[in-house]
Structure 1
Amino acid sequence: MKGIIGKKIGMTSIFTPDGKQTACTIIEAGPCVVTQVKTQESDGYNALQLAFGDKKEKHSTQAETNHFAKANTSAKKFVKEFRDSSLDKNLGETVTVDIFAEGDKVEVVGTTKGKGFQGVVKRHGFHGVGEQSHGQHDRSRAPGSIGGSSYPSRVFKGMRMAGRMGSDRVKLKGLKVVKIFAEKNYILISGSVPGHIGSIVLIQK
């Protein structure tokens, strides 16, 4: 599996010559530096470790600084392994968007936007307990009954209730690479990609 680390820039539209519109997500993918090459003999599995995004060396630990120095590169913010990578890269080499081509089908992994603590109407699509009558003026967004009383005398696991919403790791499959701007390290992927603008995503094939 070959992949690359990127940052979500935003969304735009691409129009085909026949006038068809395609919504696309713009991702700044790479350049990523190969900071470690893992092999079956030394580590028990094959993988490429890629690093993306510069950061100040004073914000890095000594172990991180020495690790990146082996690849002859500066301190990086994000590090990710891609197992069984089909890329033939050595330590210190760079991976760019050129590993993909227009028309490729890819998978994108991202973290959805965090919504904080939300009620059942927003979190699960509940409709409330019904009309407001006989003094029920505060029940329009209430969850209603959540279980029995004397039996089972507890709330079952998985009960849909209020709680934290969002900030979930999500993988979208079957997305299409619409266009590549190699000089800017931009890749346009059809449809929406989870995460806020500026969030880190993984593109893999």
Structure 2
Amino acid sequence: MSIGLLGRKIGMTSVYDARGRLCPVTVIAASDNVLLRRLTTENDGYSAVRVGFDSQNESRVNKPLLGEFKKAGVEPKRFVREFRLDADAPEGEINLNVTQFQAGDYVDVIGRSKGKGFQGVMKKHNFAGQGAAHGSKTHRRIGAVGNRSTPGRIWKNMGMPGHLGDRRVTVQNLQVMQVREAEKMILVSGAVPGANGSYVIIRPAIKNPAGRIKLHQEHSKQSQAAMKAPVAKKPEPATEAEAQKR
């Protein structure tokens, strides 16, 4: 049963896929995922499992969370998150190993983006900026943001300078390129939010494109079969003698 994993972003490298193409991948270490608690609809109002990752010193954990770790009989964990689960799913089938994913699967990876601090509109919102010549007094500033007397205010969602990054980001539909069970690592295509060493959440893709790809392949096969099918011949026009007989 594939529910998700907690992991740590190691960094990026590149591997060859089945077609021989060199693809950039992100290496995620997903070892030591521990089941802390099973939440049920009767007691908690929803069905889920609480998972812990990456051990830490007991003195750095608050007492309520420390009691939960002791009740589960595990070391205190630094990164704790929940994964939703079907209410009728047996606890024995919950797999918290990297083997719950296979090469070719699509996953969503959730992380915290790198904090960039206070940034201007050119970096934050990709604004073009103003004139770069010597006569221009401002080069990278936002410029006029209001309108005339009507409406006499600044429009909503106007891009402004401000804090950039350091927020929860989800990257969807990343393909699993390799699953290294011995090293307990997962290699996913493309980039993953966060700095090297930051925590990430890996879960099965919500908008899984595999179904759409399969449907597209079926449509392609049907269209190809229709093109290869013999075309019915048009009836030849009747001669004058046959037309008189009719």
* TM-score when normalising by structure 2: 0.75
Higher normalized helix content (fraction of residues):
2
1:28 — aligned with what? 29
SS for the counterpart of 1:95 is coil
Q: For the residues of structure 2 that align with 1:75 and 1:49, how far apart are their CA atoms?
A: 13
Matched residue, 1:202: 201
- Higher normalized strand content (fraction of residues): 1
CA distance in 1, matches of 2:159, 2:21: 41
Write the letter of the residue equivalent to 1:145. A
Encode CA deviations 1:150-171: one digit per residue, 9 max, x unaligned. 5545433311111111122221
Asked whether the equivalents of residues 13 and 22 of structure 1 are also in contact (C-alpha less than 8 Å), the reply is yes
Q: Tell me which amino acid in the other structure corresponds to 2:190.
A: G
- Aligned partners of 2:63, 2:168: CA distance in 1, in Å? 30
* Residues in 2 aligned to 1:44 and 1:196: alpha-carbon distance in whole angstroms: 35
CA distance in 2, matches of 1:67, 1:117: 39
2:108 is matched with which residue? 107
In the alignment, structure 1 residue 89 sits paired with structure 2 residue 91: yes
Number of the residue aligned with 1:166:
165
Distance 1:98 1:164, change over 3 A: same
Correspondence for 1:122 = 123
User: Cα deviations across residues 2-35 of structure 1 (Å, max 9, x unaligned)?
Assistant: 0110000001111246531111100001321111
1: CA distance, partners of 2:89 / 2:178: 21
Distance in 2 (CA, whole Å) between partners of 1:197 and 1:87 is 35
2:169 maps to a residue whose letter is V
- Match in the other structure for 1:192: 191
Query: RMSD in angstroms over aligned alpha carbons?
Result: 2.2
Deviation track 1:64-83 (CA, whole Å, cap 9, x = no partner) reads 21110111101111110001
Q: CA deviation at 1:175?
A: 1.1
Is residue 60–residue 75 contact of structure 1 (8 Å, CA) maintained in 2?
yes
Deviation of 1:173 (Å): 1.7
Q: Using a 3 Å threshold, how does the CA distance of structure 1 residues 148 and 64 change in structure 2: closer, same or farther?
A: same
CA distance in 2, matches of 1:17, 1:124: 38
Query: 2: distance between equivalents of 1:17 and 1:118?
Result: 42
Among the aligned pairs, what percent are the same residue?
A: 38
Residue 179 of structure 1: how far off its partner (Å): 0.7
Equivalent-residue separation in structure 1 for 2:76 and 2:131 (angstroms):
57
The SS at the match of 1:196 is coil
